[in-house]
Amino acid sequence: MSTSRQVVVRPATPADAEAMAALRAAVAAEGRWIGAESPVDEAAAAVAIRTAIAEGKGVFVADGDGVLAGTAHTYISTAGVTTFGMMVAAGHRGRGIGAALLDRVVAWAREQGAHKVTLQVWPHNEPAIALYRRTGFEVEGRLRRHYRRRDGELWDAVLMALHLDEETHTSFTTARSSC
Ligand SMILES: CC(C)(COP(=O)(O)OP(=O)(O)OC[C@H]1O[C@@H](n2cnc3c(N)ncnc32)[C@H](O)[C@@H]1OP(=O)(O)O)[C@@H](O)C(=O)NCCC(=O)NCCS
């Protein structure tokens, strides 16, 4: 477990699935932060969460003031690379919960032996981009007009990454340039 400013981050259990799905639905209903759009099928989301937990993916929750206030889902997307998504309930933002969850996401990646952590974020999501930059993530690219929203709009996504093992990254670059 990790704590930050009285926030407790812990691995999710199957018993958390409904509350996690409800949080996902609530954040989706805000309409501008996450990929999921309203209405979220909460029953299907809860099943997917239980499956992710059973598969050993990094599924974490933050308890704030005795309620489930935030979640993070992280998984190995390609060898040595983890990808994640996270959210904090609107009424609990700005209290360090996002930072505590992100610390756990990065710790999980290290535990998996990953050399890199990646994510995608909407370009207008300034709070999230600030959080990621503060933790050392850098912009690696942009997917232009990539995601079609239900209203037909095409949104860009910013690709960000944190390199956990710059030494390996550097030696790979050196080895490749010497070929
Ligand atoms: C992005 C999000 C997870 C941040 O969580 P949070 O608990 O509010 O963040 P914290 O209180 O831990 O703040 C950590 C840092 O994030 C940044 N940050 C948070 N809110 C911010 C805001 N409104 N404006 C600018 N920066 C902000 C700051 O760098 C902050 O560090 P500081 O307190 O030293 O200034 C939260 O806003 C959220 O869940 N948003 C909706 C869902 C979402 O966008 N998920 C990410 C999708 S990619």
- The answer to whether 93 touches 103, Cβ cutoff 8 Å, is no
Length of the chain: 179
- Phi, psi dihedral angles at 176 (to 5 degrees): -70, -40
- The ligand 1 atom nearest the CA atom of 131: 16
Per DSSP, helices labelled H in 55-158 are 97-111, 126-134
pLDDT for 104-159, tens place per residue?
A: 999 999 999 999 999 999 999 999 999 999 999 999 999 999 999 999 999 999 99
pLDDT for 12-29, tens place per residue?
A: 999 999 999 999 999 999
Extents of the domains making up the chain:
2-177
Write down the pLDDT at residue 168. 55
Q: Is the CB of 21 under 6 A from ligand 1?
A: no
Per DSSP, helices labelled H in 7-96 are 17-30, 42-54
| 94 CA → ligand 1 middle, Å | 6
Write down the pLDDT at residue 90. 97
Write down the pLDDT at residue 64. 84
Neighbours of 164 (CB within 10 A): 19
Q: Taking Cα atoms as reference points, which of 116, 99, 93 lies closest to residue 163?
A: 116
pTM: 0.92
Write down the pLDDT at residue 175. 41
Percent share of the chain, pLDDT over 70:
90
What's the CA gap between 136 and 41, in Å, rounded? 34
- The ligand 1 atom nearest the CA atom of 94: 11
Q: CATH number for 2-177: choose from 2.50.20.10, 3.40.50.620, 3.40.630.30, 3.40.50.2300.
A: 3.40.630.30
Instruction: Tell me what the mean pLDDT of segment 34-53 comes to.
Output: 98
pLDDT for 57-76, tens place per residue?
A: 999 999 988 899 999 999 99
Residue 170 has pLDDT above 90, yes or no: no
Mutate to test the pocket of ligand 1, among 122, 131, 143, 155 (most ligand atoms within 8 A of CB): 131
What's the CA gap between 124 and 133, in Å, rounded? 14
- The ligand 1 atom nearest the CA atom of 87: 39
Write down the pLDDT at residue 28. 98
Residue 171 has pLDDT above 90, yes or no: no
- Phi, psi dihedral angles at 124 (to 5 degrees): -85, -5
- The answer to whether 116 touches 81, Cβ cutoff 8 Å, is yes
Whose alpha carbon is nearest atom 47 of ligand 1? 34
Write down the pLDDT at residue 7. 85
Strand ranges of the sheet holding 81-88, from the earlier edge strand across to the other edge = 2-4, 7-11, 58-64, 67-78, 81-88, 116-121, 154-163, 138-148
- The ligand 1 atom nearest the CA atom of 133: 29
